[in-house]
Amino acid sequence: MTKRLASLLAIAIAASALIAPAAASASTTEAIADTGGMTLTLGVLGSPLTTVSVGLDDVGHITEVALSDPALTETTAGDHKVRFSNEDGTTRVEVKAKKDKLSAEVKAADLAAILGTHTWTGVLFGADDASTVTFDVVENADGNPEVTNVSVTALFPADATYEIGTVKNKTDDDEAESSMKITFMSNGFTMTLKIKAEMELGHDDDDNGDTTVKLKIELKGKDQQKLKDQALADLVGSYLWDGRYCDGTPLTVSYSISDTGDVIVDGVTIDGAASDAYELKTKNYGFEVKFNDSDAKVKVELKQNNGLWDLKVKSETTSKCDDSDSADNSDDDDDDGDDGDHNGNSGDDDDDDGDDGDHNGNSGDDDDDDGDDGDHNGNSGGDDDDSDDDGGNSGGDDDGDDD
């Protein structure tokens, strides 16, 4: 895979563009894959590193990375991770794109390298226009980095809303961290943007006593829609779900919701042609379509609750695509605790809505209920959809994403 260096004014990162209800359609992948745009402009005075640009293909593979600093050369290249460093390794830029996350991290030896006013711009929820976030990283009274002055200055699509979380500052003897999250919401979908600045004092026995600072921006969004407490009349209509095979082949499932709450599959296409290469499993107020010889699937459930209705749509398309790129999973020394561990401990993933579960199949606050509810009157039943994971563990994060 060829990556080129150039002076560009963007980090082009694909935001997950998901399904939309009521006779509307949009592309969808579980990976942050559909190239729309995400831009990071670093406002560091006097620094040659002011821009980083990333291009992704339709299934979330990195196709291009470019930096504005010619002193940084590519040291790691893969479909899901690309890293650039200077000659002595004191400055590094790393980009990751995998499943529902895409991040860019700048590492340096001097706090001044990440101080300033920075701008993030990205396409959210398949909008035609890009949203913009500005934020500052400052040196606080204790000499530590702090994220502040976070502002959403443009937001699309028109129905989108957002919540800016509180800044969390943590310090110990040799490390200081400041982070915050913005939660974006549109039509039952949720995406988060996490901003984190940290400084770590090196120890004589491991980092030659050098100080390390990092600025990391991560966009995260699952292909999962939850419309809660809706009047049935507002949900009646035609829907079109779009997804992809791992090779980029487009998939669609058209369905409709009737005024009696019936959910009906109207047609399935593969690469634009009607197809029967799928398995359809139906149940009261919902269905699941699994495409043959792949992990691609979509599940739709309509659930009644005290006279109102919840519509829940979960998809898996590119989430289990080729993970064989060894460079993507090696030398991963930048972890911030968000990734959990192999025993199912979730780590510091506090933006999640509880749907991830863990690697042992222990689910969090999984209120999308993949078949665990039984019927729609609150009676619990067995999980008859057999779709939780490949090994029969319910709710577990079986995607094998160790990083």
- Let me know if residue 365 belongs to a domain: no
Considering the domain architecture, whether residues 33 and 160 belong to the same structural domain is answered as: yes
Shared-domain flag, residues 157 and 141: yes
CA angle at 192 for the pair 359 and 246, rounded to the nearest 5°: 60
Residue 362 pLDDT? 41
Given 187, 222, 257, the domain boundary residue is 222
Mean pLDDT split into 10-residue runs, the chain, 403 residues: 34 33 43 56 86 78 85 91 92 88 91 93 83 95 96 94 97 93 92 95 60 93 88 94 88 94 96 96 93 92 93 83 50 44 40 40 41 40 39 39 42
Looking at the fold, whether 140 and 283 belong to one and the same domain comes out as: no
The whole-angstrom separation of Cα 377 and Cα 305 is: 8
pLDDT of residue 30: 52
**pLDDT of amino acid 332:** 45
- Does 346 fall in a domain? no
Residue 329: count of CB within 10 angstroms of its CB: 17
How far CA 59 is from CA of 81, 106, 141, 233, 391, in Å, comes to 14, 25, 45, 35, 24
Structural domain count, the chain: 2
Cβ–Cβ < 8 Å for 37, 130 = yes
Tell me: do 187 and 284 sit in the same domain.
Answer: no
In a domain, 164, yes or no: yes
How far is Cα 178 from Cα 46, in angstroms, rounded to an integer? 24
What pLDDT is recorded for position 55?
78
Q: Kindly state whether residue 272 falls inside one of the protein's structural domains.
A: yes
Check whether residue 154 and residue 108 sit in a common domain.
Answer: yes
Asked whether residue 141 falls in the same domain as residue 96, the answer is yes
88 exposed, middle or buried (CB, 10 Å; 0-12, 13-18, 19+)?
A: exposed
Q: Are residues 247 and 292 in the same domain?
A: yes
Query: Are both 217 and 238 inside the same structural domain?
Result: no
Asked whether residue 173 falls in the same domain as residue 212, the answer is: yes
Task: Say whether both 144 and 31 belong to one domain.
Answer: yes
The whole-number pLDDT of residue 184 equals: 93
The answer to whether position 121 is within a domain reads yes
- Kindly report the backbone phi and psi dihedral angles of residue 264, in degrees, each rounded to the nearest multiple of 5, phi listed first: -125, 130
Residue 396's contacts (CB-CB under 8 Å, 6 or more residues apart) are 344, 357, 358, 359, 360, 361, 362, 363, 388, 389
Last residue of a domain, one of 295, 316, 337: 316
CA-CA distance, 229 to 308, in Å (whole number)? 5
Assigned domain for 269 exists: yes
What pLDDT is recorded for position 37? 46
Owning domain of residue 216 = 25-222
User: Could you say which of 222, 243, 271 is where a domain stops?
Assistant: 222
Residue 31 domain-assigned (yes or no): yes
Same domain flag for 144 and 74:
yes
Same domain, 231 and 213: no
Q: Which residues contact 177 (CB under 8 A, 6 or more apart)?
A: 168, 169, 170, 171, 196, 197, 198, 199
Backbone angles phi, psi at 221, to 5 degrees: -160, 120
Interatomic CA distance for residues 303 and 61, integer angstroms: 36
> For residue 382, with 0-12 CB atoms within 10 Å meaning exposed, 13-18 middle and 19 or more buried, which class applies?
exposed
pLDDT of residue 214: 96
What's the pLDDT score for residue 14?
33
Q: How far apart are CA 196 and CA 170, in angstroms?
A: 11
pLDDT for 203? 57
* Residue 139 CB burial class (10 angstroms; 0-12, 13-18, ≥19): middle
Q: In this structure, is residue 54 part of a structural domain?
A: yes
